[in-house]
């Protein structure tokens, strides 16, 4: 190929050109939880031994395990299977028993400005009462409870009360529709739904209980009513709601009947902990099943090592909603297992204005902050003058999750939020992996903006070609996990065949993650986006991420989404949607198309030059902040826009469809 620029194969040179590196500062390294690279060698020599040690040291077991991993029936793994523990006790009671009852577990900040702090002793007390309440509503070990809540302390209390009883929760993000909620309730056959009247979002009350009512009213596809017997309602929004007699109960009225005593029982380590649905690219959402012992071991280990948590002095804040896996693993279970002090914020970052997050960091002296690249880019778009008004000097470590972080956003995060000093951990993982798998360790790794870098100790990954052969450094391929890991997905709820087909069919005993990745010359991993986001233009494999990254690298561009639209001649063509930075008049929209096409061609190569560049006000995003490229592809191909049920709002996509068809 004469012009090979712009293919996945050329990304290493791009990565190489851009290679700035940030070694750990000497003082950070000296005080870091992990500061000897021996840990990698030790864990690689005996991964099961390493995880057994973590499980023993970081958790308290009611009955010690004697077997670490049972992989006799792949891909159905069992970790610590004959051990018994209680997850809630590990997150609560044992800290109180260790004299830490007065430590704050959560600083809660409501969107309207109300705030509350809850100590470990208080949280333990509330969870015990709630467990007694749920038990008398009939919840027992093995049951499933659906939770449809705003991000408030009662949500965590509800989750922990469910798991304290040996039952499993299925949290459904409060932005999902009645149909999506019902589908999830039906799939897990929940008999109890815990919800709130409403929660605050963007300055107003967003109703939740009315959505539950709507979800429960109809018969399902099989003509059956829902399995739900009771709906427990937390009062939060104060909005008017209907209560169905005999079915619906107010949390604050019921709870008065229960005292604080509840003895936690041990349950087997492979007892279900939660089922969380992932959207998937097509088809109905998959119910990802996680269990207790292995999950808690890996979330506790990674939370401590990757975020360098010092539970006695750090204030940690993960901005994710508990409706997503990040909220589960790094907003609830990992931090609580480690006895961390956390911030929980109910609302959106722009309410009442874009200073809200930075104000919260200043108020609580947050030292560790974990958020998503999409949020960082939104803040970049608003401009650095906003965070600069706040004292962010308490921050000592930043984290990123959810998609590849483009080097431009990485540098902004590092310089503007982190004062040019804080390490950034770019953490790769999935709902299915349960916990972080690939990330720098901040006391050890020399950071490279844009790369998630290396597998965690005890985790074994590879980048392979289509036949499953590992690629050498400098090459791209598919990411696989080579050995079972403690927090791995155990099954797709009710559909083992789908579990096998989706993750294990392609490479046998290796887990297929669905992400494209590339190894640079040093063997560090650079993610290239989902494999389904890889385009094929005239036989060249082009990465959406790579082109997006180059667009965002242009000084006038705030955000970009790239899709491969079907094209008769070239197979696919590159179509870009960009948001221009608002505060600067540096690029007139009418010039943008020409300028940005040239920019991409200059940076990556002619093959990557977008066929179209549309300047738009806003990109369509899911409620978890992921850009919905599938919808943009429909628009680019002139099709009717597909399923929009997971969108945060449909305004953006409607406007874009109008704009594109008018052109
Ligand atoms: C935790 C979470 C999983 C997908 C995953 C990948 C993308 C997440 C990333 C990343 C590059 C990172 N992803 N973190 N890509 N670098 N640091 O986001 O789970 O919602 O299941 O999404 O997100 O494509 O396959 P989930």
Say if 565 falls within a structural domain: yes
Closest residue by Cα to atom 18, ligand 1, is 402
- Atom index in ligand 1 nearest the CA of residue 431 equals 21
For a pLDDT cut of 90, what percent of the chain falls above it?
A: 76
pLDDT, residue 186, reads 95
Q: Express each pLDDT in 37-80 by its tens digit.
A: 999 999 999 999 999 999 999 999 999 999 999 999 999 999 99
Q: Express each pLDDT in 611-658 by its tens digit.
A: 999 999 889 988 778 888 889 999 999 888 776 766 767 788 888 988
- Atom index in ligand 1 nearest the CA of residue 426 equals 17
Task: Give the domain CATH number at 576.
Answer: 3.30.300.30
Q: Express each pLDDT in 202-258 by its tens digit.
A: 999 999 999 999 999 987 767 789 999 999 999 999 999 999 999 999 999 999 999
pLDDT, residue 259, reads 87
Say if 220 falls within a structural domain: no
583 band by pLDDT with thresholds 50, 70 and 90? low
Four-residue CA torsion sign, 360, 391, 374, 580: positive
| Helices and strands of the chain, counted as H and E runs | 22, 30
Q: Which residues line ligand 1 (CB under 6 A)?
A: 278, 325-326, 401-404, 426-431, 452, 513-515, 527, 530
31: CA distance to ligand 1 center in Å?
29
Q: What is the dihedral of CA 4, 7, 13, 14, to 10 degrees?
A: 120
Tokens of residue 428, six digits: 């790769």
193: CA distance to ligand 1 center in Å?
28
φ, ψ at 631 (rounded to 5°): -70, -40
- Atom index in ligand 1 nearest the CA of residue 514 equals 25
According to DSSP, the β-strands at 511-519 and 525-530 are: antiparallel
15: CA distance to ligand 1 center in Å?
20
Tokens of residue 545, six digits: 């991420």
φ, ψ at 542 (rounded to 5°): -115, 140
Closest residue by Cα to atom 8, ligand 1, is 402
Res 1 pLDDT > 60: no
pLDDT, residue 450, reads 95
According to DSSP, the β-strands at 525-530 and 397-400 are: unpaired
153: CA distance to ligand 1 center in Å?
26
Closest residue by Cα to atom 1, ligand 1, is 430
Q: Do residues 195 and 248 lie in contact, with contact meaning Cβ atoms separated by under 8 Å? A: no
The secondary structure element, H or E, covering residue 16 is helix 11-17
Cis peptide bond prior to 465, omega within 30° of 0: no
Say if 568 falls within a structural domain: yes
pLDDT, residue 613, reads 96
Q: Express each pLDDT in 495-550 by its tens digit.
A: 999 999 999 999 988 999 989 999 999 999 999 877 766 677 776 667 788 789 88
Nearest to 200 by CA among 321, 110, 320: 110
156: CA distance to ligand 1 center in Å?
23
Task: Give 381-404 as a DSSP string.
Answer: HH-TTTGGGS--TT--EEEE-SSP
Query: From CA 226, how far away is CA 216, in angstroms rounded?
Result: 6
Give Cβ neighbours of residue 161 (< 8 Å, ≥ 6 apart). 88, 127, 130, 131, 133, 134
Strand partners, 225: none
Q: Express each pLDDT in 243-296 by its tens digit.
A: 999 999 999 999 999 988 999 999 999 999 999 998 644 446 789 999 999 999
pLDDT, residue 16, reads 42
pLDDT, residue 652, reads 84
Q: Express each pLDDT in 440-492 by its tens digit.
A: 999 999 999 999 999 999 999 999 998 999 999 999 999 999 999 999 999 99
What pTM was computed for the model? 0.86
Closest residue by Cα to atom 6, ligand 1, is 403
Nearest to 60 by CA among 331, 338, 325: 338
Domain count, the chain: 1
- Atom index in ligand 1 nearest the CA of residue 624 equals 20
259: CA distance to ligand 1 center in Å?
42
* Mean pLDDT, all residues of the chain: 91
* Total Cβ atoms within 10 A of residue 2: 3
Domain ranges, residue 537: 531-661
DSSP-assigned letter for residue 335 = H
445: CA distance to ligand 1 center in Å?
21
655: CA distance to ligand 1 center in Å?
28
């Amino acid at each position: 190929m004469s012009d090979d620029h712009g293919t996945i194969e050329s990304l290493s040179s791009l990565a190489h050109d851009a290679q700035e590196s940030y070694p750990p500062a000497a003082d950070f390294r000296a005080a870091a939880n992990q500061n000897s690279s021996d840990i990698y060698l030790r864990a690689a020599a005996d991964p099961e031994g390493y995880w057994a040690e973590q499980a023993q040291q970081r958790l308290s077991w009611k009955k010690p395990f004697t077997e670490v991993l049972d992989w006799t029936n792949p891909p159905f793994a069992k970790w610590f299977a004959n051990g018994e523990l209680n997850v809630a006790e590990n997150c609560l009671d044992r800290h109180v028993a260790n004299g830490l009852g007065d430590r704050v577990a959560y600083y809660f900040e409501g969107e309207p400005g109300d705030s509350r702090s809850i100590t470990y002793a208080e949280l333990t007390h509330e969870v015990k009462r709630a467990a007694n309440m749920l038990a008398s509503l009939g919840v027992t070990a093995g049951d499933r409870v659906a939770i449809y809540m705003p991000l408030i302390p009662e949500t965590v209390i509800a989750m922990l009360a469910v798991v304290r009883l040996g039952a499993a929760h299925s949290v459904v993000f409060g932005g999902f529709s009645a149909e999506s909620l019902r589908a999830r309730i039906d799939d897990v056959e929940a008999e109890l739904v815990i919800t709130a009247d409403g929660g605050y979002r963007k300055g107003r009350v967003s109703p939740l209980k009315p959505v539950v009512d709507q979800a429960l009213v109809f018969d399902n596809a099989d003509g059956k009513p829902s399995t739900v017997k009771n709906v427990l309602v937390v009062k939060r929004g104060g909005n008017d709601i209907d209560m169905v007699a005999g079915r619906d109960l107010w949390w604050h009225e019921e709870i008065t009947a229960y005292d604080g005593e509840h003895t936690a029982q041990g349950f087997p380590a492979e007892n279900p902990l939660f089922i969380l649905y992932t959207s998937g690219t097509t088809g109905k959402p998959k119910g990802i099943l996680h269990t207790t012992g292995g999950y808690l071991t890996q979330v506790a280990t990674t939370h401590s090592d990757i975020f360098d948590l010092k539970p006695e002095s750090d204030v940690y804040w993960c901005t994710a909603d508990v409706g997503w896996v990040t909220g589960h693993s790094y907003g609830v279970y990992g931090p609580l297992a480690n006895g961390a002090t956390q911030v929980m914020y109910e609302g959106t970052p722009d309410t009442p204005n874009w200073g809200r997050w930075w104000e919260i960091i200043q108020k609580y002296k947050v030292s560790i902050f974990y958020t998503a690249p999409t949020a960082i880019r939104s803040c970049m778009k608003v401009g650095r003058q906003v965070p600069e008004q706040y004292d962010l000097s308490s921050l000592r470590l930043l984290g990123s999750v959810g998609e590849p972080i483009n080097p431009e956003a990485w540098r902004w995060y590092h310089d503007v939020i982190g004062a040019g000093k804080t390490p950034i951990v770019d953490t790769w993982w999935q709902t299915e992996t349960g916990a972080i798998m690939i990330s720098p360790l901040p006391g050890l790794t020399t950071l490279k903006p844009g790369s998630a870098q290396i597998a965690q100790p005890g985790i074994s990954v590879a980048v392979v070609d289509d036949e499953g052969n590992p690629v050498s450094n400098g090459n791209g391929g598919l990411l696989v996990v080579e050995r079972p890991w403690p927090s791995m997905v155990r099954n797709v709820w009710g559909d083992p065949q789908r579990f096998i087909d989706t993750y294990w069919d392609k490479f046998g005993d290796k887990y297929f993650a669905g992400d494209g990745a590339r190894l640079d010359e040093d063997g560090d991993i650079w993610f290239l986006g989902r494999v389904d986001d890889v385009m094929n233009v005239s036989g060249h494999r082009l990465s959406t991420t790579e082109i997006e990254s180059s667009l965002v690298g242009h000084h006038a561009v705030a955000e970009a989404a790239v899709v491969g639209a079907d094209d008769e001649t070239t197979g696919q063509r590159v179509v870009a949607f960009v948001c221009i930075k608002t505060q600067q008049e540096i690029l007139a929209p009418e010039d943008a198309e020409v300028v940005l096409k040239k920019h991409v061609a200059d940076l990556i190569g002619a093959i990557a030059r977008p066929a179209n560049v549309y300047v738009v006000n806003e990109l369509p995003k899911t409620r978890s902040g992921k850009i919905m490229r599938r919808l943009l592809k429909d628009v680019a191909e002139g099709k009717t826009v597909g399923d929009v049920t997971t969108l945060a709002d449909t305004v953006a996509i409607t406007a874009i469809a109008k704009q594109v068809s008018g052109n």
